[in-house]
Chain A
């Protein structure tokens, strides 16, 4: 089953990359969300799926069993999930703002921010 899960993580990454390469503002942000999800799964996989028992301790003797579920990785993933969630909310909103300011969903329409090279000292000579 491990192998299937690894495969599904890879599919998430692939889908994320495809969406990110889109020209649509919204799809790019969604791609980023998906990439975040994929990354979190990769970090989770770094714990090697060594147990299905939650790392809960009744007594201190359960330590070895609890360690197998790799609580550290769980803590890291938890942090990473929350951080990426926060960033994505922010990017969704920023994207929305940008969309209404630029009046387009097309990232190519943002090109105007990138002025052509000019020679400021002799502006007349350059034909943009």
Chain B
């Protein structure tokens, strides 16, 4: 019974729980509700993933109306995988959020915070699971609206600036997406993505289809912070509450990447994109993103901001994988979606723990704190190693596949860029390490206790996941390989 409704439950449960959470009194109760919901969702997501792991596809017709007329939820390994990341990150961020949020957000806003958190998760899950492109837009707006709100809750005044900037840029992105959807509908008369992929080839030669593709790609690119459309991201990640930075960094851009994969490979397919400079654009912007954003990251004074730029760079890596448009490249991209969620989750959590104790995310404030908070520091170092792509960590696996994909296409320059990007990552990770560990503690003589367990345990869970998936890549790579076959449209 439940089995055939998993995907619907995944969307409906948080959607119904969100308003309830907003109305609950106190601090703990809303948190507990959100936590329970996220864990249920995580369990469901695992279940769902297990069902489609072999490459099968589950189609769920909402309201019993057959696709393409009704809205269809079409679950294959690709979106089950991304849904797993979203639900999993929510499930692990919420235990972390309790203490961190108590400190960062005024008490009366906390129920609203958890409510918005659930809504954001719901929006992201909805985007992931739906097979209808207009429904995707609706859920995109749900997740956007909630993330604007969540970011604006940051305790600095600048959080409002960040939220406003993100709102403007994000709305423009969503508008582009909607225009693209309108155009595509005008061409094909359908909104179902599977149906679209059948009907589109007949009209590939039309101008409107190309324009629609351009609008959708740019709209999604704004959401996934593709260089140079990433301009909203550093502020958003810097000034959002720590727990939100963790969640958004690990999931929001990843879901947008998923949409990009779907649009480029399933809906349009390489048969279309290979006639356009799309791949070259992805490669070029990917390379620029990796180099420029990593370079910026080196010279950031704020740890969260530094990691935010590093996220832009990591998205560059994923775009490279998409740009290669080969089985190996897209595998790398899918694996990196997962691994980057793990490593950035761990890193932002570690920085959040520092913020919890120190009250600032400015690196100069971190002097010598690493020796006082060894566990937090250790998590930061290990997460950093994964970010660099040191063998034995998850980051290595995806970088490695990416390098292989580059070699396969004889793209030596891009392979070199990937390696240089790693070197730059060494530099910016090292900056934090040096200040945290090698600098003498601050003159004020203030000492900081190790972060509380409720912050440390989720952080270390992610760190351990980073190591585990670095040593045992079968699960991630296996899933990604199947995903590439299921996505379709990629020459094997």
Q: Which A residues lie at the B interface, using CB under 8 A? A: 20, 25, 28, 32, 35-36, 39, 42-43, 45-46, 48, 73, 76, 79-80, 83, 86-87, 90-91, 94-95, 97-98, 101-102, 110, 112-115, 117-121, 123
B158–A113 touching, CB < 8 Å: yes
B164–A110 touching, CB < 8 Å: yes
B364–A120 touching, CB < 8 Å: yes
The stretch from B294-302, B409-417, B454-462 touching chain A is: B294-302
Chain B contacts for A83, CB-based, 8 A: 138, 141
With A98-B160, A110-B161 already in contact, the answer to whether A120 and B148 are too (CB < 8 A) is no
Chain B contacts for A80, CB-based, 8 A: 137, 178
Given contacts A45-B182, A90-B149, A115-B300, list 10 more A-B pairs with CB under 8 A: A20-B168, A20-B172, A35-B175, A73-B185, A80-B178, A94-B163, A95-B164, A97-B152, A102-B160, A115-B305
Report the nearest A residue to B187, measured CB to CB. A46
The distance from the CB of B19 to the nearest CB of chain A, in whole angstroms, is 15
Which of A20, A91, A97, A98 is packed against the most chain B CB atoms within 10 Å? A98
The distance from the CB of A100 to the nearest CB of chain B, in whole angstroms, is 9
B239 within 8 A of A: yes
Q: Select which of B161, B171, B300 is within 8 A of A91 by beta carbon.
A: B171
B299–A119 touching, CB < 8 Å: yes
B364–A112 touching, CB < 8 Å: no
Which of A35, A46, A120 is packed against the most chain B CB atoms within 10 Å? A120
B15 within 8 A of A: no
The total of interchain contacts (Cβ-Cβ below 8 angstroms) comes to 109
A35–B172 touching, CB < 8 Å: yes
B160–A117 touching, CB < 8 Å: no
Chain A contacts for B149, CB-based, 8 A: 90
Report the nearest A residue to B181, measured CB to CB. A43
Chain A contacts for B182, CB-based, 8 A: 39, 42-43, 45-46, 76
**Please, how many angstroms separate the alpha-carbon atoms of A121 and B163 in the complex?**
29
A46–B157 touching, CB < 8 Å: no
Q: Select which of B145, B168, B235 is within 8 A of A114 by beta carbon.
A: B235
The distance from the CB of B171 to the nearest CB of chain A, in whole angstroms, is 6
B interface size (C-beta, 8 A): 45
Per DSSP, chain A at the interface is helix
3 A-B pairs with the lowest CB-CB distances in the bound complex, closest first: A120-B363, A117-B299, A46-B186
B408 within 8 A of A: no
B165–A110 touching, CB < 8 Å: yes
**Please, how many angstroms separate the alpha-carbon atoms of A102 and B144 in the complex?**
23
**Please, how many angstroms separate the alpha-carbon atoms of A36 and B298 in the complex?**
38
**Please, how many angstroms separate the alpha-carbon atoms of A80 and B149 in the complex?**
20
The distance from the CB of B92 to the nearest CB of chain A, in whole angstroms, is 29
Chain B contacts for A120, CB-based, 8 A: 300-301, 362-364, 431, 435
Please encode chain B, from 161 to 180, with 1 for each CB lying within 8 Å of some chain A CB and 0 for all others: 11111011001100100110
Chain A contacts for B178, CB-based, 8 A: 39, 43, 80
A90–B148 touching, CB < 8 Å: yes
A76–B152 touching, CB < 8 Å: no
**Please, how many angstroms separate the alpha-carbon atoms of A95 and B171 in the complex?**
14
Report the nearest B residue to A31, measured CB to CB. B168
The distance from the CB of A111 to the nearest CB of chain B, in whole angstroms, is 9
